Amino acid sequence: MFKIILRLSQRLARKVKSHELADIMLDQNPCADWSCRLFVARRAEYVLVSNTTSMYSCVFPSVEITDSDRLSSGLLDAMGKFMLADEQEASLRQLDAAAVTGIMFAKPLDRFMAVSMSDHVHSAKLYLADGMKPHEIGLRLNSTRMALRTHSRRRHFVKPRDVFMDLMVARPQ
């Protein structure tokens, strides 16, 4: 069993009143490590949640998120619905199992991740301005090629959904 690590941006940490964030290394389990960022578009707040390893992402409104418990439940609910719609049932089962054992809040991983999240936020804002729904934005973000690091620290242009699926298949149960 493992816990889910949620890496919060400073802005999101302030919103949910989680000021003491742990400094945790990247988890070896790709389904356990997620990065979260709060952003404003069209006068509404949204949360971008991205798998820290693959950048597999979803976007959801942060309407009722006022503390860390509501963030956890809202995030798991939004990710669950999104993963079901994206035919990621096996990954969702792993995520649900991790949620039972707990959630830890942590600092963002590094600058590369912050830049990648910023790119996704910029795209999400443009898609929202065009009238796309958050669910559709996640699908679009996950099917758009982007630069990701590999173990050799070289960049490769890949689709986040493909990387996430490969990670989940390669992960020993």
- pLDDT-above-90 percentage for the chain: 53
Q: Is the pLDDT confidence value at 158 over 70?
A: yes
The string of pLDDT tens digits covering residues 71-98 is 988 998 999 899 999 988 877 777 766 5
| 102 — pLDDT class (breaks 50, 70, 90) | confident
For residues 36 and 16, is the Cβ–Cβ distance under 8 A? no
- The sign one gets for the Cα dihedral 139, 143, 146, 152 is positive
- pLDDT-above-70 percentage for the chain: 88
- Backbone phi, psi, residue 124, to 5°: -60, -40
Q: Where are the domains of the chain?
A: 4-170
Which residue type is seen at 163?
Answer: V
The string of pLDDT tens digits covering residues 19-45 is 789 999 988 887 889 999 999 999 999
SS3 127: helix
What is the number of other CB atoms lying within 10 angstroms of the CB of residue 158? 16
Strands 4-8 and 33-41, bridge-based pairing: parallel
Q: Is the pLDDT confidence value at 169 over 80?
A: no
Q: What is the DSSP string of 31-57?
A: TTEEEEEEEEETTEEEEEEEETTT--E
pTM of the model: 0.89
pLDDT of residue 38: 97
Alpha-carbon gap, residue 99 to 68, rounded angstroms? 14
Please compute the mean of the pLDDT values over residues 145-173 and round it to a whole number: 75
4-170: CATH architecture: 2-Layer Sandwich (3.30)
SS3 63: coil
| 10 — pLDDT class (breaks 50, 70, 90) | very high
The string of pLDDT tens digits covering residues 103-150 is 899 999 888 888 999 999 999 999 999 999 999 999 999 999 987 765
Please compute the mean of the pLDDT values over residues 50-54 and round it to a whole number: 92
